[in-house]
Structure 1
Amino acid sequence: MSDEDSRKLLIKTSFKSIKTIESIYTGGKVDLTADEKLIVSTLNEDIIVTEMETGRQVHELEGDTEIVTSLAVKPNGQHLVSASRSMSLRVWDLASGECIRTMNKAHDAPVIVMTIDPTSTLVATGSADASIKVWDIDKGYCTHNLRGHGGVISAVKFHRFNNKWYLASGADDCTVRVWDLQSRECIAVLKSHVSVIRGLDFSSDGCTLISGSRDKVVNVWDWQAKKLKATFPIYETLETVGFVSKKTDFSAYDGKPSSEVFYTGGDKGTVRLWDLGTGKLIQEQEEESNSKHTISDVIYLPASQNLVAITNDQNILFYSIPQQLKRIKQVVGYNDEIVDIVYLGENETHLAAATNSEQLRVYDVETQNCDLVYGHKDMIICLDRSKDGNVLVTGSKDKTARIWKINLDAQDYSEKYVCVGTCVGHTESIGAVAFARKSTNFMITGGQDRTIKYWNLRDIKFDNIGNASSITPYQPRSLYTHQAHEKDINTISIAPNDRLFATGSQDKLAKVWNVDTGDLIGTCKGHKRGVWCVRFSTVEQVLATSSGDKTIKIWSLKDFSCLKTFEGHSNSVLRVDFLTAGLQLVSGGSDGLVKLWTIKTNECVGTLDNHTEKVWALAVRKDEKMISSAGADSVINFWEDVTLEEQESELREKEEFIVKEQELQTYMRKKDYLNAILLAMSLNQPFRLLGLFREVMESRNENDLESITGSPAVDKILADMTSEHLEKLLGYVRDWNTNAKHSNVAQTILYAVLSSHSSEELVELKDAKEMIEGLLPYTDRHYQRIDDLITQSYIIDYTLQAQE
């Protein structure tokens, strides 16, 4: 048997969580460092710093229990400035993640917007108290307090022109103001908008200011002359506006822009580029299919020439300007409740997740990069895949199931996930899907309409698929539809031979059906609550079910009798699957636990605990080396099988123990007390150690009368002991002293310790006071030099009290 086979059939008992995918953004402000290596985002009252390349969390900056209202990163990448509803400003060191400065009561109301000047010296904060303040970041004091607006400050922007610094601001009083930071005067009040100002930026020559507003227009100003040069209708409620660099590559566009180019984002949900000279639309990103999001902010990255859209559904989408606003990357900020997961790809390198959203999320397991796949009109509830992992099925609340051809090696994003079929026919949400195990010829769906449908997929060509835009999804036919249950269908599973399928429902029943005809073959009755999951064994003729009655049951497929029941979860068991060639089960429940079961013994051999809410989903990799779990806490955990490693480690420890035991016996025969005592200590053998000390005391000769223990070498060992060994030894001595037969040895060793270690040293030991107090009641009965011992003990006690 190969190593792989032996690993596969080894009863699994130990898994460890090696990585997690967690939420990093729940709405609010996002910023990136200028080198584009870190994303800084708000997660409720905390701030998360994430490495862009790997998705690894670098820092979690703990907030002050109030929601973060704004943040900004220094252009030099050294510091982050944040503001919260507590009205305080905090400066964070991005290298260490430490808060290095707090400015309390920065404003009389929360800070809504902030910006940092290009030299990384000043930060301007705009507040709901209608004031703008400018702060020296490194020195921590306010340099300017600018008042004049009649409402909440909604946009601020630094500007350097002719070696002088200016600040532009906008507010919900619909005005734009320009401030001279040297004179602290407002030098221009620009009025034209009729709604709140959401974006401000200056052109490369510094002479032109643009302002974007929720009144759906962009105004172009000559801010020095205080004149409105042009008004461009944008036809969407704007949330952001800004210029792109004149060095941007527009070679892929039809004709070079006649003037500078600016971008906009808002409630239309798309990023758009406009020509400043003509006001004409240059490019709009391709709208995502059935997307409903709006854009709350756009961040311009000049180094990579990308625009980063922050959406109201907590996604961070990267669009390349040179590639005509093609989406090249996305970071998922918040997953909500994760209700299903499956591995994708021939090598199972990716994980698809259904997350209470109409978008499918596909994670690269290694880098944690995520692709968003649009198509459904309502949230996806269930997933399944073909045996080779290259076809995926999604079932949704929009009453349809979609079939996706997966090509993870495709360079073009539009060719990675292509919808090749849409199954239309259910009258309610589809809550369960199952794909054929041996082929790609059919699938079964079931849902809240309590029916099951068999879909013929033979006419779908899964090879040589083009990109998504060139494919019209095929609509398969339903060859039969049956009323299957009296309540919602939660789960469907197809047998490994494609001849049977099973369904589980809220009506407490699991049913087994013939695939070809749709005839009912048998019913599994016994659960006291709804059945959440059914799974066929890959080896035996049995079916596993998990239920809201907190149990897992295994049923015979011959007579549909219950063969075994597993109890151990403290709440509903939401998911179950077979492991180890059908010898084990893995389950996930509403108690937040993942459990491993050995079928033969009915024993729970392992509990994996790293979730705080219901575990809705489990996915087992083909090699069973990895299990993924996900649930209502928005976390995906990756568990690695370490059973073999732990068994090998235990075996090594046992071998080392045997070797040390033999060495100890050898030392004792040779009367090498020095090494024997040290070894007995390392083996944690207090009784053996007691015998050694007794033997040393009893073998005292005339030359060792001055020795406390009877051996100067042993006295020296006790004198040279480290704090760790002293703690262990004093614990042993306390236990020995409770027995009159051993108390003489105990007090001799205690006296030797007290004679060679200062009271200050002993005071530092953990539980020192308790150990000495445990020894004192017996002392005056058993040792001739006890006065010294008591004195030293009382010194320790006194020192401890003094310290307290």
Structure 2
Amino acid sequence: MVKAYLRYEPAASFGVIASVVSNITYDSSGKHLLSPALEKVGVWHVRQGLCTKTLTPSSSSRGPSLAVNSIASSPSSLIASGYGDGSIRIWDSDKGTCETTLNGHKGAVTALRYNKTGSLLASGSKDNDVILWDVVGETGLFRLRGHRDQVTDVVFLSSGKKLVSSSKDKFLRVWDIDTQHCMQIVGGHHSEIWSLDVDLDERYLVTGSADNELRFYSIKHESADGESVNGGEESSIQNKWEVLRHFGEIQRQSKDRVATVQFNKSGSLLACQVAGKTVEIYRILDDAEAKRKAKRRVHRKKEKKHSKEALEGIENVDGNNENKGNDSSVTHGPIETSNPTVTVPDVFKLLHTIRASKKICSISFCPITPKNSLGSLALSLNNNLLEFYSIEQGETKKTLAIDLQGHRSDVRSVTLSSDNTFLMSTSHNAVKIWNPSTGSCLRTIDSGYGLCSLILPTNKYGLVGTKDGTIEIIDIGSGTCVEVMEAHGGSVRSIAALPHKNGFVTGSADHDVKFWEYQIKQKPGQAAKQLIVSNVSTMKMNDDALVVAISPDAKYIAVALLDSTVKVHFADTFKFFLSLYGHKLPVLCMDISSDGDLIVTGSADKNIKIWGLDFGDCHKSIFAHADSVMAVQFVPKTHYVFSVGKDRLVKYWDADKFELLLTLEGHHADIWCLAVSNRGDFIVTGSHDRSIRRWDRTEEQFFIEEEKEKRLEEMFEADIDNAFENKYALKEEIPEEGAVALAGKQTQETLSATDLIIERLDIAEAEEKCIAEHQEKNSRNVAVFQANPLMNGLSPSDYVLSAFSDVHSNDLEQTLLALPFSDALKLLSYLKDWTSYSDKVELVCRIGTLLLQTHYNQLLATPAARPILTVFSDIFYERVKVNMLRVFMFFYKLKLCHVWYIKTLLSESRF
């Protein structure tokens, strides 16, 4: 009989406040801060300091294990998040749901920006392309190509009519959205451009790079008749396409490269964040203040010139001639001072410099300016921390810090209580107590660098072994460190409880394995009872003790040494029993099964070995992970084993059959530790990405053979995808200057959808022929027609229409492009019937538009297409117009689309 197993699936992830790779941003209301948390986006209420909502990709989506690379918020409740696989998800922050997924980029999304109305979204990527998306239509409009390196930032100009993009290729490009071409290429930067932004009135555009200066550009605006607002000089032929004009530079204080430049919403402040610990805040002066400052600058310059000339006149014998020269300069002075030229230092004045405790990852201005302050700035640090600063005229104050919900560094150990009600985790400076069911942090205790931990069976105290060789006693109820004991001369690497005894064992780098006893009693002079720990005995080893494990009957103790061996001794007499030799690198983890029959070891040589504890024979050696195995543990009362490694994977094994059962993905960095509940219903893992993840056992059964076939299919599909990408990568040449291409990309999903449409077109065509033949033979309807059961009782037209039910709006273009002309002609013939469905109006319009644009020349040259095109010209537009008005007015009442979108669609006289 084939054995069935129960599946484990990802259940929860907690402990991450802010990721390192992405930016933070406020929502439109200014009450919530959007912070990336690996593959999720956390919505934090700023005043309460709580995460009110988490935007999590569904398990069925393409890239749940891919981290968020960039975030942008629209003027409405929509939020866009870009991922490492090039996909973009549009979220509704009020509902907390994913509205749509946009697939177009071939590399990680590095820049996102909405226009002022929120109807358009621009994205830049590592594939060097910029794509413009229609947010309402949930589709890509076009792809702008021309950059020679990664696009770092994008910004809209002229109310969304123009787009400026920056890149690592040291150039700015200005794109005209209406004509879809590159209007201007701006050079002058000596290194990669990392960020750019524009003020509220679109007067200045600022860029930040690795240079020691910020570059500013003045923006040319055009009036309604197309002439330049700034005068005839700029409207000359030479300056016809010039949108950005170099205005000047400001020397920065920091030598680090610029990471982010950002104006606040009112346009009164400019923040320059560098790839370090500082943020420079500049105040933007108005025109009157800038002119006064320019006059003072010119006046000081002239005073210096006068004083210099006076000194030269005294020294010069011919004083009269010098005085005449001075008089001439003075006469021209008032004319220059009356209307001086305003420069960048006259407009932008350094106000404050914010210095954080750790490296700053990203910044964001609050769109709402608090009272009695110039603005509020949020910072995300690389130690999983959010800080908020109030910018005032005289100083900057830190108003809030969100840090309790996560560790400042990687999670080095996790351990569960005996009743699985709470979880203890350690890092380099803190111990945290969690509720594993909800993921909420219950306690935070300052500590040393905790390498291992243990919760005593009473569930009142916890033990933490530190890198300094101490053992810290943690009172879980009060959340305090009761005592710090000097236990070892080296770092404490492992703690194991003695079964059925009030004791535990520690292994250290000082070659000692110590046995300890504990009891809870009242100390002299103290009212409350406390945990008292005492050393009972010490076992000397020949090398560093990396791991210790105790058999369930407390008869044996296994010690993994630095010399890659595992020594098994009798726990009572310390007499040598067995030596487990076979690993090529040190054993980093091991565990003994509940029945004491098996011992499993994981090593830095990427293998796990299963041994018999009776004779010490190696039952099986398995190449388990692509990197070091960091933790292994048996499921209680079974021979099932979980292992984790630096390859970011969790693997589930059957130690009797030596088979891999499951591979669980989710972590974004090395996994350091593992804990299995005493019932085996869930496991907890801790990682270098600072996250703690819970994996729950479900009621779904699976079989080994099915999982093997599934893994082979995934490998096969991955090879096909890689070959497909490489094939087109070889054919793809350097794009032309300012080239425009399609926004979408061909994927396995679009090819499958195309195959489905072709299949249903063939079935529907055959069904129509059968219906026609039946009607000819049975004009009196004597016989009943037997419909094709594959059509599920649908008409041929509806059967073909149902093929589009699972086609995503963004994938429709690529799906139809792969259709042969003959099938495209068949599809056009069905559009007339589909216009009667009012809820399919937009789909019909898009299908007709794409097919006509793609096959325009062939349709004109094909006589069989003329009847279909004639139907289009006669009734198609009228039907669509009537249904369109009804549908979009209904949507507008539900606030699902904008008024401008309805007007645009109704004003179109053709596709």
Quote how far apart the aligned CAs of 1:363 are.
4.5
Aligned ranges 1:148-297 → 2 under 5 Å: 150-152=251-253, 180-183=285-288, 185=290, 187=292, 266=355
Aligned to 1:564: 619
Aligned equivalents of 2:417, 2:660: Cα separation in 1: 29
Which amino acid letter does the alignment assign opposite residue 624 of structure 2? H
Aligned to 1:91: 113
Aligned ranges 1:296-335 → 2 under 5 Å: 313-316=383-386, 330=403
Aligned equivalents of 1:432, 1:796: Cα separation in 2: 82
Aligned to 2:456: 386
Quote how far apart the aligned CAs of 1:143 are.
12
**Cα separation, partners in 2 of 1:581 and 1:476, compared to 1, 3 Å:** closer
Aligned to 2:642: 586
Which amino acid letter does the alignment assign opposite residue 580 of structure 2? C
Quote how far apart the aligned CAs of 1:620 are.
1.1
Question: Is the 8 Å Cα contact of residues 421 and 476 (structure 1) preserved in structure 2?
Answer: no
Question: Is the 8 Å Cα contact of residues 339 and 382 (structure 1) preserved in structure 2?
Answer: yes
Aligned ranges 1:430-579 → 2 under 5 Å: 430-438=492-500, 441-458=502-519, 476-486=533-543, 488-498=544-554, 500-515=556-571, 518-557=574-613, 559-562=614-617, 564-565=619-620, 567-571=622-626, 572-579=628-635
Question: Is the 8 Å Cα contact of residues 177 and 186 (structure 1) preserved in structure 2?
Answer: no
**Cα separation, partners in 2 of 1:395 and 1:761, compared to 1, 3 Å:** same
Aligned equivalents of 1:186, 1:265: Cα separation in 2: 28
Question: Is the 8 Å Cα contact of residues 216 and 249 (structure 2) preserved in structure 1?
Answer: no
Question: Is the 8 Å Cα contact of residues 27 and 43 (structure 1) preserved in structure 2?
Answer: no
- Where structure 2 has 5 or more consecutive residues not aligned to the other structure, the ranges are 58-62, 83-109, 123-154, 157-162, 167-171, 173-185, 224-241, 298-349, 391-397, 707-765, 805-821, 831-861, 867-911
Question: Is the 8 Å Cα contact of residues 588 and 617 (structure 1) preserved in structure 2?
Answer: yes
Aligned equivalents of 1:480, 1:629: Cα separation in 2: 32
Aligned ranges 1:135-154 → 2 under 5 Å: 150-152=251-253
| Structure 1 stretch displaced more, 617-626 or 589-598 | 589-598
Which amino acid letter does the alignment assign opposite residue 508 of structure 2? G
Aligned to 1:625: 681
Aligned to 1:789: none
Aligned to 1:405: 475
Question: Is the 8 Å Cα contact of residues 273 and 362 (structure 2) preserved in structure 1?
Answer: no
Aligned to 1:39: 33
- Where structure 1 has 5 or more consecutive residues not aligned to the other structure, the ranges are 1-9, 83-87, 192-239, 243-263, 270-291, 408-414, 651-692, 728-755, 765-794, 800-804
Aligned equivalents of 1:391, 1:585: Cα separation in 2: 28
Quote how far apart the aligned CAs of 1:315 are.
2.1
Aligned equivalents of 2:661, 2:484: Cα separation in 1: 42
Aligned to 1:359: 430
Question: Is the 8 Å Cα contact of residues 20 and 382 (structure 2) preserved in structure 1?
Answer: no
Deviations 1:617-656 (A, max 9, x none): 2211233221223445555442221244669xx9xxxxxx
**Cα separation, partners in 2 of 1:96 and 1:566, compared to 1, 3 Å:** farther
Deviations 1:465-509 (A, max 9, x none): 99xxx99x98954333332243x3222223445554322223232
**Cα separation, partners in 2 of 1:548 and 1:518, compared to 1, 3 Å:** same
How many residues in Structure 1 have an aligned counterpart in Structure 2? Answer: 549
Which amino acid letter does the alignment assign opposite residue 12 of structure 1? Y
Question: Is the 8 Å Cα contact of residues 646 and 670 (structure 2) preserved in structure 1?
Answer: yes
Aligned ranges 1:593-608 → 2 under 5 Å: 593-608=649-664
Which one has a larger percent helix, Structure 1 or Structure 2?
Answer: 2
Question: Is the 8 Å Cα contact of residues 21 and 361 (structure 2) preserved in structure 1?
Answer: no
Question: Is the 8 Å Cα contact of residues 359 and 372 (structure 1) preserved in structure 2?
Answer: no
Aligned ranges 1:737-748 → 2 under 5 Å: none
Quote how far apart the aligned CAs of 1:584 are.
1.8
Do residues 58 (structure 1) and 58 (structure 2) align? no
Aligned to 2:483: 421
The alignment partner of 1:104 has SS state of: strand
Question: Is the 8 Å Cα contact of residues 12 and 439 (structure 2) preserved in structure 1?
Answer: no
Which amino acid letter does the alignment assign opposite residue 505 of structure 1? L
Which amino acid letter does the alignment assign opposite residue 509 of structure 1? T
Aligned to 2:902: none
Aligned equivalents of 2:490, 2:594: Cα separation in 1: 32
Question: Is the 8 Å Cα contact of residues 111 and 126 (structure 1) preserved in structure 2?
Answer: yes
Question: Is the 8 Å Cα contact of residues 569 and 591 (structure 1) preserved in structure 2?
Answer: no
Which amino acid letter does the alignment assign opposite residue 359 of structure 1? A
Aligned equivalents of 1:796, 1:602: Cα separation in 2: 67
Aligned equivalents of 1:336, 1:380: Cα separation in 2: 11
Task: Using CA pairs under 8 Å that are at least 6 residues apart, name the structure with larger relative contact order, 1 or 2.
Answer: 2
Aligned equivalents of 2:603, 2:361: Cα separation in 1: 42
- The Cα RMSD (Å) is 6.5
Aligned ranges 1:684-699 → 2 under 5 Å: none
**Cα separation, partners in 2 of 1:96 and 1:373, compared to 1, 3 Å:** farther
Question: Is the 8 Å Cα contact of residues 54 and 367 (structure 1) preserved in structure 2?
Answer: no
Deviations 1:107-146 (A, max 9, x none): 97789999999x999999685534668999xx9x999998
Aligned equivalents of 1:530, 1:20: Cα separation in 2: 31
Deviations 1:197-233 (A, max 9, x none): xxxxxxxxxxxxxxxxxxxxxxxxxxxxxxxxxxxxx
**Cα separation, partners in 2 of 1:525 and 1:56, compared to 1, 3 Å:** farther
Q: 129, 140, 144: which one pairs with 2:213? A: 129
Aligned to 1:638: 694
Identity fraction in percent:
17
Question: Is the 8 Å Cα contact of residues 620 and 627 (structure 1) preserved in structure 2?
Answer: yes
Aligned to 1:224: none
